[in-house]
Copies of this chain bind each other. A is one copy, B any other.
């Protein structure tokens, strides 16, 4: 369960509340991981039971207590173990590509609309990553923990580069479907020479 380990990762840097964790997910790893707040609270509860984290309860008058979570020694060990264990192959699930795959069931106009919609969405997302990269770069210049920041930027870079490749494919697909051109790319067109 990666969510547990992502939480451990954040808590290994500093203690946080469930709310803080939700914000951290939304603002920094959103491009490759997301979690609902209900999920975070439940997981934190389980992790407390498992001894991976400890609650520090800060009472507040007439409001729900704030609970700050600290990583335990066992938590650090678990995190280290997970970070050094190769993951089993993941199953992809991309519903959009199912729509494309069965594009021949509907009119090309309709598939085109889907492709354009996806394109707009990906482009907006890409612009957002670009902004994130920019702001993280700034921080890199001034901050101490270069190594931590480097890995943050590296994952963002991955998202950005894959976004570019995806956008290129989308543009090309849109052009071809719009032209009613069903000739597929040849192997030499598709694969770089080095192969």
Contact = CB atoms under 8 A, between A and B. Distances in A.
A47 interface: no
Interface stretch (A51-59, A62-70, A90-98): A90-98
A185 B158 CA distance: 12
A166 B155 CA distance: 11
A147 B86 CA distance: 40
Question: How many copies of this chain does one complex carry?
Answer: 2
Contact of A162 (B113, B150, B165): B165
Among A90, A133, A190, find the residue whose CB has the most chain B CB atoms closer than 10 A.
A190
B169 A94 contact: no
Band of interface residues on A: 35 or more
A28 B113 CA distance: 24
Given A101-B9, A101-B29, A106-B83, A164 B151 contact: no
Contact of A98 (B6, B12, B96): B6
A60 interface: no
A20 to B, nearest CB: 17
Nearest to A170: B158
A153 B169 CA distance: 12
Given A145-B104, A164-B192, A182-B147, A94 B83 contact: no
